[in-house]
Chains A and B, each alone.
Chain A
């Protein structure tokens, strides 16, 4: 088996509130000071093989966006490493400098991810120029090529972002990412803010590009249907941990982790076969705050099968089959 393109090894990321001078004085005087810490990502190990699309699914607070940023080299992990072809994506000294251009990101909000004061041709060509992928003379033609590849007229290069619709802006964002000739594309909820019909267009574009460029990608989304449609493998995250990971069709057909099962059952399905109105089957309980995740298995308060062991011992990812893991004491 060939080496993975991206390897995340025991990656954790904590966000803690800075302790102000006042709090330090209070602590010295004996007053209790809460050091609030969010464990956005907890001990995640993951690899992505060349040419595959890994879907990263979860609800808010699960850490999928944070993990995406760590993989992209724009956020340093508190522990663990992120390596692309064996080389770290971010400088490990205090500088937090991104070391590679081979990972690029497509962000969620098409309205905020483009500089409103730059023409989109400049925005697309800026990175390649700065990194020597192209020279000034060839930049115009290069940008035109990038634009046509995402289905936009090359003459749009002189326009400003406000002149485009949400779907078009997302295409521009994809063009910008691809202009850097990345090996790995991280898509952070790229279609979440788009209308359904436009979403389909952008998803189709993504499928085309993936095939044409043999892209490796991590697709982050909360939309289970979209993730299933695009991904080869899917990882489900809950409160900073991966709870299940495996081939997409297997996970959707036969989920092993109680959270995955409950999540798939609770998502409303579009039925086009006259099944009539169906009852909703929600997961019981509230989504815990990432500031105070439940001990042991994070999901145990909402899990119908929870045992004493689940309350105290955090489950590790256990192999349940080829390329299939779930973090549950009870999964078979």
Chain B
């Protein structure tokens, strides 16, 4: 069965005055319908740029220099503007951290949903209204008619995000890329949105790429997890396996940095050093400078290899516990 989304060898570089920033430098992903992939990383990992590249939203001074992104078998990289626009929003959609990146503050929600619908289909007003109400109901908004008539600023942050999700779902896309959609929301609202997304994934069969830095969310939401560091995937596999037995030292370090189960008052096992700047990255494994297991071999970039049921990019992966 063709994967809903398949990314191979994706490289997106930004050509700035100070040099080339290799934001994404060789990423391979694959998601089936109805499944959730958690794309995890810290700042500078390239996770957001990966999401934007998949949607074709990379602008000057950046561009996709290499790689392929296949949506239900169709190649998206290299599409001209019109073809790209026919695909974007209809068969693949994006949800951003700030719902105001999707919503226009001076237009009513109903108007915006109508514009989103009409961008890809010719439909009558009645059908527009009916489908909009249905979409708003699907995301669990309590008063869909009132929402349609409201301006974004009249809604709370959680409700705005739900509207953004509803707009993403309007054309029943095969894939939704969500870039930190709950990070800016309160904890209790976050849980509501996550529950909605879980339900929607199961009901509509949409494939979901969930970009986040929050490992806890990924552990409950995602079937598979891909951990990114400095533009590359360093570990990729079923969530439960990767979190229980991380093979890459960075994954393990990240897990240990979360205070969740650590003994209160005890120091956390921190990763020393800081995230490298993406300009002029030294050759070899990007995590080398912060890794306690690094040796001379790490001066060449390790290839991603199958280790015990998942993929890891390391010469000295952690052993199975």
Given contacts A196-B42, A277-B222, contact A270 B274 (CB under 8 A): no
Binds B, one of A172-180, A281-289, A316-324: A281-289
Pairwise interchain contact B264-A248, C-beta atoms closer than 8 A: yes
Pairwise interchain contact B191-A203, C-beta atoms closer than 8 A: no
Task: State the CA gap A195–B229 with chains docked (Å).
Answer: 12
Pairwise interchain contact B268-A282, C-beta atoms closer than 8 A: no
Contact of A200 among B214, B265, B271 (CB under 8 A): B271
Which residues from chain B sit less than 8 Å from chain A, CB to CB?
42-43, 156, 158-159, 186-192, 194-195, 198, 213-217, 219-223, 239-241, 243-244, 253-262, 264-272, 274-275
Cβ–Cβ < 8 Å partners of B262 in chain A: 229
Contact of B239 among A168, A222, A226, A277 (CB under 8 A): A277
Cβ–Cβ < 8 Å partners of A228 in chain B: 259, 264
Please tell me if A131 contacts chain B, counting CB pairs below 8 Å: no
Pairwise interchain contact B191-A200, C-beta atoms closer than 8 A: no
Given contacts A167-B274, A226-B259, A286-B156, contact A196 B188 (CB under 8 A): no
Number of residues on chain A facing chain B (CB within 8 A):
49
6 residue pairs A–B, Cβ–Cβ below 8 Å? A195-B43, A201-B270, A225-B259, A282-B195, A283-B192, A286-B159
Task: State the CA gap A228–B259 with chains docked (Å).
Answer: 8
Pairwise interchain contact A197-B254, C-beta atoms closer than 8 A: yes
Pairwise interchain contact B258-A270, C-beta atoms closer than 8 A: yes
Binds B, one of A102-110, A182-190, A260-268: A260-268
Pairwise interchain contact B258-A283, C-beta atoms closer than 8 A: no
Task: State the CA gap A182–B234 with chains docked (Å).
Answer: 44
Pairwise interchain contact A203-B240, C-beta atoms closer than 8 A: no
Pairwise interchain contact B216-A287, C-beta atoms closer than 8 A: no
Seed contacts A269-B260, A287-B186; 12 additional CB < 8 Å A-B pairs: A197-B257, A222-B186, A225-B258, A248-B264, A266-B188, A269-B220, A270-B260, A271-B219, A272-B243, A275-B240, A279-B195, A282-B188
Cβ–Cβ < 8 Å partners of A204 in chain B: 267-268, 270
Contact of B221 among A263, A277, A287 (CB under 8 A): A277
Task: State the CA gap A208–B270 with chains docked (Å).
Answer: 13
Pairwise interchain contact B274-A60, C-beta atoms closer than 8 A: no
Pairwise interchain contact A279-B198, C-beta atoms closer than 8 A: yes
Which residues from chain A sit less than 8 Å from chain B, CB to CB?
59-60, 165, 167-168, 195-201, 203-204, 207-208, 222, 224-226, 228-231, 248-249, 262-263, 266-283, 286-287, 289
Cβ–Cβ < 8 Å partners of A263 in chain B: 187-188
Pairwise interchain contact A268-B217, C-beta atoms closer than 8 A: yes
Of B188, B213, B261, B268, the most chain A CB neighbours within 10 A belong to: B188
Chain B proximity of A259: nearest CB distance (Å): 9
Task: State the CA gap A11–B163 with chains docked (Å).
Answer: 38
Pairwise interchain contact B220-A277, C-beta atoms closer than 8 A: yes
Cβ–Cβ < 8 Å partners of A196 in chain B: 42, 213, 215, 254, 257-258
Chain A proximity of B245: nearest CB distance (Å): 9
Cβ–Cβ < 8 Å partners of B189 in chain A: 282, 286-287
Pairwise interchain contact A197-B195, C-beta atoms closer than 8 A: no
Chain A residue with Cβ nearest B155: A286
Closest 8 CB pairs of A and B: A282-B191, A200-B257, A229-B259, A266-B191, A195-B42, A268-B216, A282-B192, A59-B186
Pairwise interchain contact A229-B219, C-beta atoms closer than 8 A: no
Task: State the CA gap A262–B258 with chains docked (Å).
Answer: 22
Task: State the CA gap A248–B194 with chains docked (Å).
Answer: 27
Task: State the CA gap A60–B192 with chains docked (Å).
Answer: 16
Cβ–Cβ < 8 Å partners of B258 in chain A: 196, 200, 225, 270
Pairwise interchain contact B42-A278, C-beta atoms closer than 8 A: no
Cβ–Cβ < 8 Å partners of A287 in chain B: 156, 158, 186, 188-189
Chain B residue with Cβ nearest A59: B186
